[in-house]
């Protein structure tokens, strides 16, 4: 509608160098109100991504829902942060962007609590599931103040489970995916018979690995439900804060560019944050 509309533009990238970006409302959503959205924070090699790919398959196979999964991680997946974005609902899903208003948030590694506001993208009334080895009566004290405030302000239901202890006790080592997947289905109430569906999928997925592996995963399902606990924070009084990803004395480029990238906020950096460099083009004979 402008006299000189942009013929080349970006949305979501702040281009303050060549000024091709358009202003936009980051709170706007074109999704159906019936679409369910879930976020899962895991560590490469802990089984989180594989479990969520499996969860999408279970939802698609056992319900009438359409399902979609996006999985964000760097090229060195093992040992790095992974974020799984899952959508499902009764209407076709055409969203080609990541989730910003999640109904369900799961943290599979309690170390993430110290450095990331995991509930920033949680919707009001969402459910938060945390894998932690901290005793149930001490969990609230170990949360950073910012997370406590998010839980209270957004009226988030908070649940915990010690997935690593369960996995070791049933012979799965550090593979916590079955425990966390079971808790997700139990809390989200997507399936009418979630335990039956998970156990059926376990038999199909791990059958070739042997009866012992199948039995261990089946035990993990039962133990997960027995050990799932709800925590109800009454007030935000923690003295803990989020720990910076890098020391304050680091060089400016590390502070302003690398630190946000490490925190998973690299997409928010404006173009001007990156150094102006020249590129050589090699012409092969």
Summarised one tens digit per residue, pLDDT across range 149-168 is 999 999 999 999 999 999 99
Number of other residues whose CB lies within 10 A of the CB of residue 6: 11
* Predicted confidence (pLDDT) at residue 237 exceeds the cutoff of 90: no
* Predicted confidence (pLDDT) at residue 131 exceeds the cutoff of 90: yes
Give the residue carrying structure tokens 């709170």. Answer: 27
Contacts of 142 (CB under 8 A, 6+ apart): 113, 132, 134, 238, 240
* Predicted confidence (pLDDT) at residue 7 exceeds the cutoff of 70: yes
* Predicted confidence (pLDDT) at residue 76 exceeds the cutoff of 80: no
* Confidence bin at 285 (pLDDT 50/70/90): low
Percent of the chain's residues with pLDDT above 90: 41
* Confidence bin at 85 (pLDDT 50/70/90): very high
* Confidence bin at 284 (pLDDT 50/70/90): low
pLDDT at 266: 86
* Predicted confidence (pLDDT) at residue 220 exceeds the cutoff of 70: yes
Across-strand partners of 43?
81
Cα–Cα distance for residue pair 184/273, rounded to 1 Å: 38
* Confidence bin at 66 (pLDDT 50/70/90): very high
pLDDT at 130: 95
pLDDT at 228: 94
Q: Which of 56, 54, 63, 67 is nearest to 206 (CA)?
A: 54
Number of other residues whose CB lies within 10 A of the CB of residue 16: 12
Residues 256-276: pLDDT tens digits? 898 888 888 888 899 999 888
CA triple 172-173-178, angle to 5 deg: 45
Cα–Cα distance for residue pair 162/143, rounded to 1 Å: 16
Cα–Cα distance for residue pair 19/282, rounded to 1 Å: 29
């Amino acid at each position: 509608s402008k006299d000189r509309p942009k013929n080349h533009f970006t949305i979501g990238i702040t281009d303050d160098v060549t000024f091709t970006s358009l202003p936009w409302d980051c709170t706007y959503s074109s999704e159906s109100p019936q679409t369910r959205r879930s976020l899962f924070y895991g560590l490469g090699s802990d089984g989180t991504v594989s479990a969520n790919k499996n969860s999408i398959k279970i939802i698609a196979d056992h319900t009438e829902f359409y399902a979609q999964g996006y999985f964000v991680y760097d090229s060195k997946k093992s040992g790095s942060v992974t974020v799984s974005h899952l959508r499902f609902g009764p209407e076709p899903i055409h969203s080609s962007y990541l989730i910003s208003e999640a109904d369900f948030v799961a943290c599979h590694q309690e170390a993430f609590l110290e450095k990331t506001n995991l509930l920033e993208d949680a919707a009001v009334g969402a459910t938060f599931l945390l894998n932690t080895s901290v005793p149930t009566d001490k969990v609230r004290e170990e949360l950073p103040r910012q997370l406590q405030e998010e839980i209270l302000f957004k009226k988030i239901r908070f649940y915990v489970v010690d997935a690593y202890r369960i996995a070791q006790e049933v012979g799965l080592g550090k593979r916590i995916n079955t425990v966390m997947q079971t808790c997700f289905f139990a809390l989200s109430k997507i399936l009418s018979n979630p335990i039956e569906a998970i156990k059926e999928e376990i038999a199909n997925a791990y059958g070739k690995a042997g009866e012992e592996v199948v039995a261990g995963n089946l035990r993990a399902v039962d133990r997960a439900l027995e050990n799932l606990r709800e925590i109800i924070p009454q007030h935000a009084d923690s003295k803990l804060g989020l720990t910076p990803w890098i020391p304050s004395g680091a060089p400016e480029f590390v502070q302003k560019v690398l630190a946000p990238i490490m925190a998973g906020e690299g997409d928010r950096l404006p173009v001007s944050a990156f150094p102006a460099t020249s590129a050589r083009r090699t012409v092969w004979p």
